[in-house]
Structure 1
Amino acid sequence: MIALGIAHFGAFLLACLTLNLTPGLDTFYILARSGREGRAVGFAAALGINAGCVVHTAAAALGVSAILMTSALAFTLLKYLGAAYLVWIGLRMLLSRATARRPTTMRGQGMGAAFRQGMLTNVLNPKVALFYLAFLPQFVVPQAGHPQWALLVLGVSFIGTGLSWSLVLALLGGHIYRLLLTRPSLGRWMDRFCGTVLLGFGLRLAIQRQG
């Protein structure tokens, strides 16, 4: 990997695995969608989230993420867009009725919505963009002739480990889904819990500072 301008690639992969195993918004979102609508929807949510990571990887390689580090206005705009989106999803889950989502009629629509929401939730989170900018360059050789290629390889590697774990989460969520089919009241409580947590993530993102 030295030829590509990457240093300590093994340590990088170990760090990626550790970060992916740490519960966060992405973990919770995949489990919520998979548990409520089935593993296929969970897979779509996982693919959407990792599609957002592709956007952040490209942005980091092209230097767009650097703007977020230096521009308070850009950071603030993206932060509030992401926060508003999370609050909107949370409120929909809190206010929705159990009869409004039936797997037999909403499955296809659910997959598309899960992918779009997963991708937008990830793309509109400035914390993710700043993470990419702060984390990936630590493993790029300072004298690398083309650091953007090194950043791309590191980003794709991070996405690979993240996608693998995301698919495992979607499979676990499918088991939760089957349990919800036999216990509708549990589904209503899950909606309330999921909506509350998403609201919390949105509010936390809204008050997050740039520094």
Structure 2
Amino acid sequence: MATVVCGLAAVVSASPVLFAAIRWAGAAYLIVLGVRALRDGRATASTTAQRNSRSGGAFLRGLVTNLLNPKMILFSVAFLPQFVSPATGDVTAQLVLLGAIFVVVQLTVDVTLGAGAGRFAGRVTDGRWSRRISRVCAVAFIALGVRLATSG
């Protein structure tokens, strides 16, 4: 949202080279996450969660993933300005308000999904299930990275 307000998102969407660089970086990051998850497949979900909560790793990974997501940049540039009217006041203030509302709604959805996933994870802490889920997620990350890299 900050990139939309500052105009950086418009610069990225107007520059095919910069957009492609972000897309490739995002694709590479997803593939690295998938390969790393396949290698660390022996670690259980609870061990990984403990490691992430101590180091803030989950937050940092989520932040990097979102910053390297070109679809979010395009969504923000295409969606938010539709609801801004220069005739009704300061455009920047309107964008900030819309961005804040979007963040609150998205945070509510993410917290709800996270809580549900946490409850589900508690039920599948069995090492065998944990390894299977980890492998499926790893393959999904790699597939998404390849898809992002090959999409035009």
| TM-score with structure 1 setting the length | 0.66
The Cα shift of 1:198 comes to 1.0
The unaligned stretches of length 5 or more in structure 2 are none
Q: What do you get for the CA RMSD once the two structures are aligned?
A: 1.8
Aligned AA for 2:144?
F
Q: Report the counterpart of residue 82 of structure 2 in structure 1.
A: 138
The Cα shift of 1:202 comes to 1.2
Cα distance 1:96–1:204, how it changes in 2: closer, same or farther (>3 A)? same
Q: Report the counterpart of residue 78 of structure 1 in structure 2.
A: 22
Deviations for 1:136-187, whole angstroms, at most 9, x for unmatched residues?
0010114344211111110110110110111111111112221222x21111
Cα distance 1:189–1:105, how it changes in 2: closer, same or farther (>3 A)? closer
The Cα shift of 1:67 comes to 1.2
Aligned AA for 1:110?
N
SS of the residue 1:143 aligns to: helix
Q: Report the counterpart of residue 59 of structure 1 in structure 2.
A: 3
State how far apart, in whole Å, the 2-side matches of 1:166 and 1:144 are: 32
Q: Report the counterpart of residue 23 of structure 1 in structure 2.
A: none
Q: Report the counterpart of residue 141 of structure 2 in structure 1.
A: 198
Structure 1 residues 27-42: aligned runs within 5 Å = none
Cα distance 1:140–1:91, how it changes in 2: closer, same or farther (>3 A)? same
Runs of 4+ in 1 over 6 A off after TM superposition: none
Deviations for 1:37-71, whole angstroms, at most 9, x for unmatched residues?
xxxxxxxxxxxxxxxxxxxx111011111112211
> Percent identical across equivalent pairs?
34
SS of the residue 2:31 aligns to: helix
Q: Report the counterpart of residue 72 of structure 2 in structure 1.
A: 128
Cα distance 1:172–1:162, how it changes in 2: closer, same or farther (>3 A)? same
**Bigger relative contact order (CA 8 A; separation at least 6):** 2
| Number of residue-to-residue matches in the alignment | 150
SS of the residue 1:97 aligns to: coil
Cα distance 1:195–1:105, how it changes in 2: closer, same or farther (>3 A)? closer
Structure 1 residues 1-211: aligned runs within 5 Å = 57-98=1-42, 100-101=43-44, 103=46, 107=50, 109-111=51-53, 112-181=56-125, 183-209=126-152
